[in-house]
Structure 1
Amino acid sequence: MTSLKIAGVPEHFNLPWHLSIENGKFEEAGIDLAWTNVPEGTGKLCQMLRDGSTDIAVILTEGIIKDISAGNNSKIIQVYVQSPLVWGIHVAAASPYKTLDELKNQKAAISRFGSGSHLMAIVNAKNQGWDIRALDFEIINTLDGAVEALTEGRGDYFMWERFMTKPIVDKGIFRRIDDCPTPWPCFVIAIRNEVLENNTEAIEKLLSVINKATVSFKQIEGITNVLAERYSQKEEDIKEWLKITEWSQQKLDKNTFDKVQDQLFELDIIDKKAAFETSAV
């Protein structure tokens, strides 16, 4: 039995992992897989790969490419979710801001520097023609921290996955004023190089298990209800989310890698580029 540690955000994208663990699928493949939920998101996941507190991370594509270019000794071993991530742009319910234009020069709440909420705030600013050097940030760590920061006025807007934030909108705590989809596949699976080198066969088996799970995930009987209950969502929202979400069983291709890295470089999020051959398998 090979013991492996994996970490990811506590969001509906990752239910195939949890069901496979609960149903003993990894154990059947000779893998003792321990999952850690990381509500802080991509910045924290990058740190965990760096310090060895996780072996594998299910992580935002742009976040891990940024961190690999900055020296994270890990590789992307597969695309996990092929479809874009739809980032909702949120303000407090009582906020005076009604349109995206009004958020120019206002403070963005982010989970941490290097996180998806940080990187996508820059991407959004670029899309709007704002001066990205003028962006101002408030670090809030988690979604709960964002609720506090926006309600208290320490941050003006917050970007997070639209559907996971929908219950907060439904409760009248946030208002969503716009969306900003990523122009690339949203989640990949990354692994520390040392772990990959020492456990090649086990990693192949792990990918086989999760790929079988994601291929048939949408066909699981009652999956809409399961997702709604586990993630405190309305079934109508889950149905909409399932329609636009496509899991992947493929490697990351060089064209996609280059597209993401080129945009990160253009936005001054990275100051040097990593080689595809040393960043992905």
Structure 2
Amino acid sequence: MSAATPLKIGFVPEHFSTPIHFAQKHYGLSAELIPFPSGTGHMITSLRSGEIDVAVGLTEGWVAGLGKDPSTTQDASFGTDGGYRLVGTYVETPLCWAISTGADRPEIQSVDSLKGGKIGVSRIGSGSYVMGYVLADQRDWLVPTTAVGTDLETASPFSDFVVLNTFKNLRDAVNSGEADFFMWEHFTSKKYYDSGEIRRVGEIYTPWSSWKIVASTQLFDEQKKLDERVEEAMEKINEGIKHFEEHQDEAVKYISTELDYSEEDAREWLKTVKFPKKVQGVDQAVIDKTVNILRKAGVLTEGRGMKPEEMIAKTR
């Protein structure tokens, strides 16, 4: 890829993407923005296949993707280096995942009734998949079964992981009975609670800051220096964040007219989110904590896969 070629940046077209929109609209972010409504798991596949260069997605998805043992992953494009590295922090606050079921599922009345049920996920390895294990860990649903070498294998807390790709498919599945529940960001889900399409059972917060920026390993030279276009893009995103914070009414208008949110929900979300002043770099302690919790939850296995410090190309 030549220096003049615009980067292809993957993002989830939700309210969190507003500063990226402003970076392009007002500050000349020179990149092709490619929406991934199906989320972080899909972006991992696209990074590894070379379809995108940079992506903004969920911390737990990125870490799970790099932390898995390459010999056990079903992703043939994993390669020897995982395909991407963490280079930036996009959101400082945790993410509130709403736990949803179908509108007419009287047998599901509480989070505890979901144990052993069918969980809908966008993709294997996505945030919605990873948080299923975090929920199970918090609820003490994880039961060690057999020892493999020095590792304990954990029985699945759910009867099935139903891969459904999109938010709409997830909503349809809990109403048809294909899945019993799914987890998705609170404000993205709220409109469908208000309309009566789905029903809220509970919520769970990520134990870590929620969004990170990653770059393809193809964008690093032999000395591990990052392509200047990524540095420039992160500077533009910094300007987009500053604009977002100084022009909240413009942000609300964009979120409520171009994205799938009411003005009221957009304003409520603004009270809950904190973006960094500078997105460059990732805190090692955050990734250590994420890896430790994902190991406890059985998503990752200690001694296998990439170490936390190896996942980060740019610290802060």
Query: TM-score scaled by structure 1?
Result: 0.93
1:196 & 1:38 partners in 2: Cα distance? 24
Aligned partner letter, 1:94: D
Alpha-carbon deviation of 1:258?
0.5
- Within a 5 Å distance, the mapping from 1:70-149 to structure 2 comes to 70=68, 71-96=81-106, 97-131=108-142, 133-135=156-158, 136-149=160-173
1:245 & 1:55 partners in 2: Cα distance? 26
Pick from 181, 184, 191: which aligns with 1:167? Answer: 191
Q: Secondary structure at the match of 2:295?
A: helix
- Within a 5 Å distance, the mapping from 1:211-250 to structure 2 comes to 211-220=238-247, 222=249, 223-248=251-276, 249-250=278-279
Given the alignment of the two structures, is residue 266 of structure 1 paired with residue 289 of structure 2, yes or no?
no
- Within a 5 Å distance, the mapping from 1:9-24 to structure 2 comes to 9-23=12-26
Pick from 46, 60, 63: which aligns with 1:62? Answer: 60
Aligned partner letter, 2:289: K
Q: Secondary structure at the match of 1:233?
A: coil
Aligned partner letter, 2:263: E
Alpha-carbon deviation of 1:215?
2.8
Larger deviation, residues 216-225 vs 204-213: 216-225
Aligned partner letter, 1:56: V
1:215 & 1:111 partners in 2: Cα distance? 32
The count of corresponding residues between Structure 1 and Structure 2 is: 276
Given the alignment of the two structures, is residue 195 of structure 1 paired with residue 196 of structure 2, yes or no?
no
CA 221–81 in structure 1, closer or farther in 2 if over 3 Å, else same: closer
Q: List alignment gaps of at least 5 residues for structure 1.
A: 27-31
CA 11–146 in structure 1, closer or farther in 2 if over 3 Å, else same: same
More helix by share: 1
Alpha-carbon deviation of 1:229?
1.6
The RMSD of aligned alpha carbons is 1.7
Query: TM-score scaled by structure 2?
Result: 0.83
Q: Is the 8 A contact 1:265 1:273 kept in 2?
A: no
1:125 & 1:114 partners in 2: Cα distance? 16
Q: Secondary structure at the match of 2:6?
A: strand
1:157 & 1:277 partners in 2: Cα distance? 34
Q: Which residue of 2 aligns with 1:252?
A: 282
Q: Secondary structure at the match of 1:23?
A: helix
Alpha-carbon deviation of 1:95?
1.0
Alpha-carbon deviation of 1:240?
1.5
